[in-house]
């Protein structure tokens, strides 16, 4: 599933390709990806208008129109944006034609992505009960959202109601950088460990964006280039693979010691 760094890349791509162009035609190819809005509502909202700016929050992208409505995009497992000629889109679910003759396609092979409309992104975020955005949160708020939370640290990092934007890959990387075992009960982390976790979260997400969300291209000192069966820990030894909260989890036993 696309995580926060991916959404930052999508946002930049959208801003560079799709703003300030009149929309001449709208085709809802797969109405089943719509949530809370009909095909006709989507067409009426977009047709004849322009996108003027966008906002990312967690794993959502909000595209603001010049009529003050926002197109909500959630990319599910395989969703992405494509801008160009119509025949360049492989799995179009929403197809938008601009006055320039170019198309913007919400592509999604497995159709787990979702599209909708809202007038107020903050209200939508509140209705979804999303936690603070992982890239925008400060340390005081970070510590507060985890206060009195019970359970293992990795599932809490993945819980979008606690913190919005982190997925399975970058949770592993953040915990590796922080030297925290994924099974560690959150309430056992001390103040210094929370500070380290916060700082590493910010650094890892920024680095991922800098590297265009290409985990394999990250520095060799990072976990993700080695995150595959048989991979070796950059600190030495083999990586371990275990299920945590139903998610495949990689960690380095030499570096990440569990606390009891």
- What residues are labeled active site? 2-3, 59
Number of other residues whose CB lies within 10 A of the CB of residue 206: 13
Extract the tokens encoding 221. 């000192």
Task: For the chain, count helices (H), then strands (E).
Answer: 7, 10
Extract the tokens encoding 214. 């290409």
CA separation for the pair 44, 4 (Å, rounded)? 30
Ranges of beta strands (E only) in the chain are 23-28, 51-57, 60-65, 70-74, 79-84, 92-98, 103-108, 114-118, 240-244, 247-251
Q: What is the DSSP string of 20-35?
A: S--EEEEEES-GGGBS
Number of other residues whose CB lies within 10 A of the CB of residue 57: 21
Per the CB < 8 A criterion, the answer to whether 67 and 74 are in contact is: no
């Amino acid at each position: 599933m696309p995580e926060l760094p991916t959404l930052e890349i999508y946002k930049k791509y959208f801003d560079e390709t799709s703003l300030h162009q009149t929309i001449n035609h709208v085709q809802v190819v797969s109405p089943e990806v719509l949530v809370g809005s009909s095909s006709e509502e989507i067409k009426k909202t977009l047709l004849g208008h322009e996108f003027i700016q966008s906002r990312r929050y967690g794993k959502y992208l909000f595209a603001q129109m010049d009529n003050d409505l926002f197109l909500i995009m959630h990319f599910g497992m395989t969703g992405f944006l494509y801008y160009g000629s119509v025949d360049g889109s492989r799995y179009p679910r929403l197809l938008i034609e601009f006055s320039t003759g170019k198309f913007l396609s919400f592509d999604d092979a497995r159709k787990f992505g979702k599209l909708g409309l809202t007038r107020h992104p903050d209200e939508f975020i509140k209705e979804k009960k999303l936690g603070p955005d992982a890239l925008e949160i400060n340390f005081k708020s970070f510590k507060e959202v985890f206060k009195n939370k019970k359970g293992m640290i990795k599932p809490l990092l993945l819980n979008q109601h606690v913190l919005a934007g982190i997925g399975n890959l970058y949770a592993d990387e953040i915990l590796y950088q922080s030297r925290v075992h994924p099974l560690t009960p959150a309430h056992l982390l001390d103040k210094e460990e929370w500070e380290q976790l916060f700082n590493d979260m910010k650094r890892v997400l920024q680095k991922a964006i800098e590297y265009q969300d290409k985990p394999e291209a990250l520095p060799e000192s990072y976990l993700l280039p080695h995150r595959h069966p048989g991979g070796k820990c950059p600190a030495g030894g083999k990586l371990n693979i275990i299920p945590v909260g139903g998610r495949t989890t990689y960690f380095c036993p030499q570096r990440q010691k569990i606390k009891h």
